[in-house]
Amino acid sequence: MQRIALDEASRWPTVLRAVWAPIPWMLEAMFVLLLALGDYAGMTTVAVLLAVNAAFGLGGEGCARALKVVSRAK
């Protein structure tokens, strides 16, 4: 069985790319506004949305990277 070595680059650039887009910017702005208003329940909800968005971004990036490695191996 042939093994394929995945390039284990740092995850931080990938995480930063996941939150560097217009939708996360709006969520981050809303987070700051809710913090200023003292709405901690809303702030927590927005924080969870940001985390889920970043997790989906990381998952998609990981799948894309794995497909790229597999396609190179053929």
Mean per-residue pLDDT for 47-69? 77
Q: Could you state, in order of their start, the residue ranges of all structural domains in the chain?
A: 14-73
pLDDT of amino acid 72? 73
Average pLDDT over residues 21-37: 91
Q: What are the Cα distances from residue 7, in Å, to 60, 63, 65, 66, 70?
A: 16, 13, 9, 9, 12
Task: Give the pLDDT score at 67.
Answer: 66
**Are 63 and 34 contacting, i.e. CB atoms less than 8 angstroms apart?**
no
